[in-house]
Amino acid sequence: MAMNKVPGHNIYIGGIFSLKNKAALRRANVTHVLSVLRLQPTDDTFLHYQHHHIDVDDVEDENLLEHFPSAIEFIQSGLETGGGVLVHCAMGKSRSATICIAYLLHRQRSVFTPQSALALLRESRPLCEPNSGFMAQLELYHQMGCPKEVVSHPSYSRWLYRREVEESVACGRAPEMKSILFEDEQPRQRTDATSESVEVKCRKCRRKLANARFAVPHGAQQDVKAAVISECAHIFLNPLTWMRPSLFPNGPDTLTGLASEDAPLSGRLTCPNPSCGSNIGKFAWQGMQCSCGEWVTPAIGLARARIDISAPVTIRRGPGNLPPGIRLPPNMRPSGVDTTTVGPRSERDSTKGSL
Ligand SMILES: [Zn+2]
Ligand SMILES: [Zn+2]
């Protein structure tokens, strides 16, 4: 099948055979060729073109996302010189379409979604169909705001971490310590003061374990606060620094770099306070089923029976003086003396510097 023009752009999509059709390439004034496939250039096919090569397979777990910025820059450079750009893979169906969609998203983020950009491609090339893994990467890219740089983006790190956990678990082993994304060690994003002020503590020793911003909602839980105050038997969390000894009881072998060769796939979570050390929950990299029936993968869960939740209790001084606090059901109201804070200022102060 011939190559097809992306409507409204000097970009063409094609399969490997579109490279053979020199006349068509000349007619389209193609000056730049972007190859998105595993390919060993053996001849002078690309001699007369600016050429960029992305060495990937058309499989769902291939990381094409990390190549979006270089591909977009290359397409951009071709268009700026006034030439046409051919984006090709083997069939002109999945990989090349993904790259063209990424370009459209980057150029006009507010105009396109991955689906609507795909619809545009299909106007001229109906067979375009990124595999589901690539569509998910396009969705993530769109959510990230279609940045010029993806690998330094926190959402990318999280996505990579999840992939690595999935891959390890598929091989029946725990992920390596170095691939774990400890959320409390990540650069702070926009945070919400209310989720910061909802704290989770060890019931036995009162050691602070997390605040709501590290919670992982599941099932019907809409946000991190819902995850903390739900009725589920566990509060699921992202990995945090204090969990290292529980997750990797054998420690990192820094000499060999074989950090977690025999780290357990699942086990108990222990309170990080050395004089407490009580069992406060469990983890299972392969996931576990919550009491509500939902599967959470990976699962790092604090047992609700072993922890206390403290949330600011709003004391009303007068109408409209204070923002509403979080109201917990009576059976979950905090009991400790250190749990009452008044107003937003003291909420912030009480969490400063901790965790
Ligand atoms: Zn404790
Ligand atoms: Zn649940």
305 CA → ligand 1 middle, Å: 13
CA distances from residue 303 to 10, 173, 246 in whole angstroms, order as listed:
57, 24, 15
Tokens encoding 87: 């984006």
Q: Please, what is the average pLDDT of the chain?
A: 87
Tokens encoding 278: 């009580």
314 CA → ligand 1 middle, Å: 27
- Helix 114-124 to helix 95-107 angle, to the nearest 10 degrees? 120
Tokens encoding 175: 């992920």
Whose tokens are 């060690």? That residue is: 185
Report the pLDDT value the prediction gives residue 234, as an integer from 0 to 100.
97
Report the pLDDT value the prediction gives residue 123, as an integer from 0 to 100.
98
Beta-carbon neighbour count of residue 88 at 10 Å?
24
Beta-carbon neighbour count of residue 243 at 10 Å?
22
Write out the H or E segment, with its range, that includes residue 180: none
User: With 80 as the cut, is the pLDDT of residue 127 above it?
Assistant: yes
The per-residue DSSP string of 36-60 comes to ES-----SSTTTTSEEEEE---S-T
227 CA → ligand 2 middle, Å: 8
Tokens encoding 12: 């063409």
204 CA → ligand 1 middle, Å: 5
3-state secondary structure of 62: coil
Write out the H or E segment, with its range, that includes residue 118: helix 114-124
Neighbours of ion ligand 1 (CB under 5 A): 202, 204-205, 207, 271, 273, 276
231 CA → ligand 2 middle, Å: 7
Catalytic-residue membership of 202: no
3-state secondary structure of 322: coil
The pTM of the full predicted model, rounded to 2 decimals, is 0.75
Mean pLDDT of 37-61: 88
Write out the H or E segment, with its range, that includes residue 130: none
CA distances from residue 270 to 177, 229, 246, 302 in whole angstroms, order as listed:
18, 21, 6, 10
The string of pLDDT tens digits covering residues 276-334 is 999 999 999 999 999 999 999 999 999 999 999 987 665 555 454 444 555 555 555 55
Percent of the chain scoring above 70 in pLDDT:
83
The string of pLDDT tens digits covering residues 170-202 is 999 999 888 899 999 887 766 677 778 899 999
Neighbours of ion ligand 2 (CB under 5 A): 232, 290, 292, 294
For residues 102 and 138, is the Cβ–Cβ distance under 8 A?
yes
The string of pLDDT tens digits covering residues 51-102 is 999 999 999 999 999 999 999 999 999 999 999 999 999 999 999 999 999 9
Position 47 confidence tier, pLDDT thresholds 50, 70, 90: confident
